[in-house]
Amino acid sequence: ESDVTGKHSDTMKRGDDRLTAVCAMEPGHAGSPRKRRRPGLGRNPMERFWRTHLAVTQVCSQTWCELQVAYGFEIPHVLTELEERPEVTAGASIHLSREMEVQKVVAVPVLSREDRQAIPFLNLLSMIPALQAGLRVRELPVLGLLEGVFLMGVVDELCYSEKGELVLTELKTRRVNTLPGPAQVKGHNLQVRLYKLLFDSLVRGDLKRDHVISHLRLRPEQALGRGVLEHAGKLSLQVSTFGDLLDLLLLNLSYCELPAVDRLSLEYCHQGSGASIGTRDVPFAEPQLREELRYYLSYWTGHREPRGVDIEEVWKCNTCPYKEHCEWKLEEGSADMVTTPTKRTIT
């Protein structure tokens, strides 16, 4: 591994000097069971589904089928079954082993919503100096207010190229040993472009205290739990409340002088062998991206209904876990198209 100056980095080689945290439930704390909530009338999806923010991956899933995303909230038990599929867990373990090549992952007990949000903040705080030192970081949290909606995500990797460019890479693991088709690539491209938009605005100091407190509905005066405080201590950070930690993060971001992302890349890797299938560079143009984002968010803010797949992409319904429930499929009378696609001619 090399840093921007081309010198070898001891920290990178050891990989266990740096700490990154994941949430663990405090022993004896039952946590919140996943509840099924029926959609309410007259409220937008952010309110109906009790969303304070959206994950970048949720917005990207809209490129595949918006109705599928909506059903993910309305019929959550199907989503749970999807999360347990072997390819999902195989992908997660490849990501984890890559992360552990550069940083040690530790479980930190959490007691409150503020504790839970403190974990990505601490991870971000621990990665800023690593990036300033020219090191590679993995699983870097990004967050911010874009087009009126608070978005959060986790960047797979940021590192400097030999030319000194800051390169953002998203790793996609695949069950099959081939590159994905255009329908899947559309969502992947959107994901890395949104990550760049969020990262660049973070290092420009655009994130405001009020954005976090009001959009995420968190209490700045809330004392951080014992586990979070212990982890902060290991990172040499002196904080006692969630507000202290947020202020420290905003201060670090304002003075970090990190560059914007120069290059976006997608890396595809085969789950079975772990071998690379290929990489693709992704172009970036902010005005077009913001226009796309406004379109996708207009569903969440209640300005339009969710869309099913386009007629040319009805093949997506064949493997959709919601096809038995899907109003688009029933209303459009497309059941025949789905089960017998060869009978249909698309002009």
Chain residues that interact with ligand SF4, rule: CB under 6 A:
65, 67-68, 71, 308-309, 316-317, 320, 322-323, 326, 328-329
In one-letter notation, the amino acid at residue 77 is H
| Residue 73 CB, nearest approach to ligand SF4 (Å) | 12
Phi/psi at 177 (5° precision): -90, 50
Query: H helices of the chain, where?
Result: 10-14, 45-48, 56-61, 66-74, 76-83, 86-102, 113-132, 182-203, 209-216, 226-234, 242-255, 286-300, 327-331, 335-339
Tell me whether residue 124 or residue 317 sits nearer to ligand SF4 (CB atom): 317
> Shortest gap between Cβ of 293 and ligand SF4 (angstroms)?
21
Q: Could you give the CA distance from residue 263 to residue 273 in angstroms, rounded to a whole number?
A: 27
Q: Which residue number, 165 or 310, has a Cβ lying nearer to ligand SF4?
A: 310
Taking the least distance from each CB to ligand SF4, the nearer of 177 and 339 is 339
Four-residue CA torsion sign, 182, 183, 184, 190: positive
Minimum CB separation of residue 325 from ligand SF4 in Å reads: 8
- Closest CB 343 distance from ligand SF4, rounded Å: 18
Q: How far is the CB of 300 from ligand SF4 (least distance, A)?
A: 17
User: 136 φ, ψ to 5°?
Assistant: -80, 135
Nearest of 322, 321, 316, 311 to residue 344 by alpha carbon: 311
Using alpha carbons only, give the angle 61, 51, 120 rounded to the nearest 5 degrees.
80
Smallest gap from residue 275 Cβ to ligand SF4 (A): 30
Q: Which residue lies nearer to ligand SF4 by CB, 71 or 242?
A: 71
Specify the residue, 5 or 319, whose C-beta has the smaller distance to ligand SF4. Answer: 319
Looking at beta carbons only, is 268 or 322 nearer to ligand SF4? 322
